[in-house]
């Protein structure tokens, strides 16, 4: 069940992004938080968001300008906060490759700042957003997110007597999010030609509603140190193009630097310390696997079998063209 945020003070880093806006919408519709703080560095996006969620109509909403790189600003923002959702990141793969120092500053050092501020201010729970790009990374963005994931898992060890607990959710491409392939294909449809990197390429897909639901559920069941991975469908890039623009011809442009042919959410190495549940996987640190085994089984989980991996090409759950169209239209 989703975590009850009634009377909680909740802060969302990257709160003006695609996930942040959907999270805010969902929380305001289903819960009665004491405060809901949108923390981001873009004043224009905050202004635009405030036209929909203005403090006069939504008195719990607060807008807090700041950057996760700014440690002092985070310490100020986290004062009195119960729950932090960390969604801020530099995530465009080509931009990260061209500006590696910037990606490191935000995605790695920013994560370290989040951890320090959360522990010092006695935040109850921190849920960070990960990505399939962090698994066996082949680009800088993925590498920075892998480092970030490791920081959040390890943070539980040095929280000491402080009550703060840290967990993560990891998922694939978000349908319709800014900069993703779906709106790109929709935009290019009017040209009559869609560029396809490789006809064999596959990807995991999740909706924004599903991503938010995963975070809220994770907040409810987390004890700290877990990475929650949802069981989500895959789709071939060629099938995706045909579903969005069946009347377009395709131009094969070749795989780009930093891209994978298929995405991975769970490796064989991860699987050795992962529990499977009906609709998600829970990765735990190797040193805690044996200790958690009995409790996980009692809760309906089971250890993943030897040699198991959750990859977009071998995923039995395939997203059909019809199902995709329904997701895009809200049907």
Q: Mind telling me the catalytic residues?
A: 133
Q: Helix (H, G, I), strand (E, B), or coil: what is residue 325?
A: helix
Sheet with 9-13, strands from edge to edge, namely 61-65, 35-40, 9-13, 83-86, 125-131, 165-171, 227-230, 280-283, 274-276, 302-303
Name 325's Cβ contacts closer than 8 Å, sequence gap at least 6.
243, 331
Largest Cα–Cα separation, the chain:
61
Determine the Cα–Cα distance for residues 294 and 56; give it in Å rounded to an integer: 50
Could you tell me the two tokens for 54? 């203005």
| Backbone phi and psi for residue 177, each to the nearest 5 degrees, phi listed first | -70, 155
* φ/ψ of residue 127, rounded to 5: -115, 120
DSSP tag of 124:
S
Cα distance between residue 99 and residue 268, in whole Å? 32
Note the residue count of the chain.
331
**Long-range contacts from 150-159, C-beta under 8 angstroms, 24+ separation:** 151/108, 151/111, 151/112, 151/115, 152/86, 152/111, 152/115, 152/126, 152/128, 153/225, 153/227, 153/285, 155/115, 155/118, 155/119, 155/126, 156/224, 156/225, 158/119, 159/119
Q: What is the DSSP string of 57-106?
A: T-TTEEEEE--TT-HHHHHHHTTT-SEEEE------HHHHHH-HHHHIII
């Amino acid at each position: 069940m989703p975590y009850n945020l009634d009377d909680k003070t909740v802060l969302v880093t990257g709160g003006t992004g695609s996930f942040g806006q959907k999270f805010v919408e969902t929380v305001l519709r289903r819960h009665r938080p004491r405060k809901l703080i949108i923390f981001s560095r873009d004043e224009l996006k905050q202004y635009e968001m405030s036209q929909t969620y203005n403090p006069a109509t939504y008195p719990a909403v607060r807008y807090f300008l700041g950057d996760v790189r700014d440690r002092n600003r985070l310490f100020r923002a986290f004062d009195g906060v119960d729950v932090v959702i960390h969604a801020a990141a530099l995530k465009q793969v080509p931009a990260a490759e061209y500006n590696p120092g910037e990606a490191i500053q935000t995605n790695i050092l920013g994560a370290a700042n989040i951890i320090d501020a959360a522990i010092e201010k006695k935040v109850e729970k921190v849920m960070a957003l990960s990505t399939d790009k962090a698994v066996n990374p082949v680009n800088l963005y993925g590498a920075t997110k892998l480092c970030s994931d490791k920081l959040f898992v390890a943070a539980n060890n040095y929280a000491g007597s402080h009550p703060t607990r840290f967990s993560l959710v990891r998922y694939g491409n978000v349908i319709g999010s800014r900069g993703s392939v779906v709106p790109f294909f929709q935009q290019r449809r009017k040209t009559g030609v869609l560029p396809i990197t490789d006809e064999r390429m596959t990807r995991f897909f999740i909706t924004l509603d599903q991503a938010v639901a995963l975070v809220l559920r994770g907040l409810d069941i987390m004890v700290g140190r877990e990475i929650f991975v949802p069981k989500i469908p895959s789709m071939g890039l060629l099938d995706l193009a045909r579903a969005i623009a069946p009347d377009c011809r395709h131009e094969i442009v070749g795989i780009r630097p930093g891209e994978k042919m298929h995405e991975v959410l769970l490796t064989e190495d991860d699987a050795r310390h992962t529990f499977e549940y009906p609709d998600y996987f829970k990765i735990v640190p190797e040193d805690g696997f044996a200790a958690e085994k009995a409790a996980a089984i009692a809760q309906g989980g089971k250890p993943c079998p030897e040699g198991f991996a959750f990859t977009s090409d071998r995923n039995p759950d395939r997203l059909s063209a019809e199902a995709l169209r329904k997701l895009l239209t809200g049907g």
